[in-house]
Amino acid sequence: MLIRKIVNITSTIAGVLMIAAVSFNKLPWWSLLVLAFLWLFITAYGVANIRSGYFLKSLNNNPKFTEKKIAITFDDGPDPNTLKILEVLNTYNVKGTFFCIGKQIEKYPDILLRIIEENHIIGNHTFTHDKLIDIYSTDKFTKEIEDADTIIEKISGKKPLLFRPPYGITNPKIARAVKKTGHSVIGWNKRSFDTTIPSEKVILKRITKNLKGGDVILLHDTKIITVAVLEQLLLFLQSNNFTTVTIDELFSIQAYA
Ligand SMILES: [Zn+2]
């Protein structure tokens, strides 16, 4: 957030000075274009990378964690495939953190309840997870978070305090919405790309490479391939003496109000 302020102030000052220089023919006009592209490039990087902390503070991993404990997170459920994920987690006695979508909860309330009954943690992942959600106004995005909270609370009696932005995208409107709702924003530092990569091996390699205590893995409980990846991951964790914790434990924060 501080970096963003520095970038914006520096760009504005540079822009004003350059306009003056261009008008006195001291600089070519296209130098302003270069500045505009540079600003756009940095801002786009901040939008697309939740870990950059460009617009808001998110918890992506806990480097202070010296023990070999990591957190596994699942996005976009509940979904019938979530049941297979829960089975694997049960077999290895592992607890995960599930960032659920409101409209999916409407469809599968029983699966949401089962996640909670099996002592996993639930977080908010907006109500619709719409493709265009990242261009919503602050008020519309705030409503997305509040509506998801409402349905989670209606079905489970729990009001989530953890929130993960869809696609890991952040911008000033989302930052303002989250400030209003007061949720802790949870990112990740091990992205699996299990929604796009078709190979179990490649996905597993991505998430296990240089894995260390305090890391947060992002998976999707909606994907069939993720069931097999999860099983391989849990075997890897076992043979490398890793254990797992839920997100609230990893960051010593509260999952519910
Ligand atoms: Zn998502």
For the stretch 144-187, pLDDT in tens is 999 999 999 999 999 999 999 999 999 999 999 999 999 999 99
Residue-wise pLDDT tens digits, 179-225: 999 999 999 999 999 999 999 999 999 999 999 999 999 999 999 99
CB-based contacts of 132, cutoff 8 Å, min separation 6: none
**Cα–Cα separations (whole angstroms), residue 241 to 190, 212, 219:** 18, 11, 21
Domain shared by 7 and 92, yes or no: no
Q: Which residue is catalytic, options 75, 215, 221, 248?
A: 75
Domain shared by 9 and 98, yes or no: no
State the average pLDDT for the chain.
95
Domain count, the chain: 2
**pLDDT score recorded for residue 60:** 97
pLDDT at 3 > cutoff 90: no
Q: Which two tokens stand for residue 168?
A: 């890991």
Domain shared by 100 and 29, yes or no: no
Query: 77 C-alpha to center of ligand 1: Å?
Result: 9
Instruction: Give a yes or no: residue 43 inside a domain.
Output: yes
Per the CB < 8 A criterion, the answer to whether 224 and 198 are in contact is no
- Provide the b/e sequence for 105-129 (b: ≥16 CB within 10 Å): beebbebbeebbeeebbbbbbbbbb
Domain shared by 100 and 220, yes or no: yes
Instruction: Give a yes or no: residue 61 inside a domain.
Output: no
CB-based contacts of 1, cutoff 8 Å, min separation 6: 53, 54, 55, 56, 57, 175
Domain shared by 203 and 78, yes or no: yes
- Confirm whether 220 is a catalytic residue: yes
Domain shared by 42 and 75, yes or no: no
Instruction: Give a yes or no: residue 56 inside a domain.
Output: no
pLDDT at 53 > cutoff 90: no
Domain shared by 122 and 35, yes or no: no
Query: 171 C-alpha to center of ligand 1: Å?
Result: 16
Q: Tell me the CATH number at 235.
A: 3.20.20.370
Task: Domain of residue 23: give its range.
Answer: 2-48
Domain shared by 109 and 42, yes or no: no
Instruction: Give a yes or no: residue 53 inside a domain.
Output: no
Instruction: Give a yes or no: residue 40 inside a domain.
Output: yes
Report whether the peptide linkage leading into residue 78 is cis, meaning its omega lies within 30 degrees of zero. yes
Please give the Cα distance from 43 to 66 (Å, whole number): 33
pLDDT at 134 > cutoff 80: yes
Higher pLDDT, 46 or 207: 207
Domain shared by 118 and 13, yes or no: no
Higher pLDDT, 144 or 46: 144
Environment class of residue 145 by beta-carbon count within 10 Å: exposed (0-12), middle (13-18) or buried (19+)?
buried
pLDDT at 1 > cutoff 80: no
Residues in the 5 Å CB sphere of ion ligand 1: 75-76, 166
Domain shared by 149 and 186, yes or no: yes
- At 17, phi and psi to the nearest 5? -65, -40
Domain shared by 108 and 160, yes or no: yes
Q: Which two tokens stand for residue 91?
A: 């077999």
Q: Which residue is catalytic, options 76, 79, 220, 248?
A: 220
**pLDDT score recorded for residue 46:** 87
Instruction: Give a yes or no: residue 219 inside a domain.
Output: yes
Residue-wise pLDDT tens digits, 56-80: 999 999 998 889 999 999 999 999 9
Domain shared by 94 and 194, yes or no: yes
Query: 129 C-alpha to center of ligand 1: Å?
Result: 7
Residue-wise pLDDT tens digits, 104-126: 999 999 999 999 999 999 999 99
Please give the Cα distance from 102 to 131 (Å, whole number): 15
Q: Is 121 helix (H, G, I), strand (E, B) or coil?
A: strand
Instruction: Give a yes or no: residue 42 inside a domain.
Output: yes
Q: Work out the number of other CB atoms within 10 angstroms of the CB of residue 39.
A: 17
Instruction: Give a yes or no: residue 54 inside a domain.
Output: no
Query: 252 C-alpha to center of ligand 1: Å?
Result: 24
Percent of all residues in the chain with a pLDDT value above 90, rounded to a whole number: 89
Per the CB < 8 A criterion, the answer to whether 32 and 22 are in contact is yes
Query: 73 C-alpha to center of ligand 1: Å?
Result: 11
Residue with tokens 């501080």: 2
Q: Which two tokens stand for residue 159?
A: 């009001």
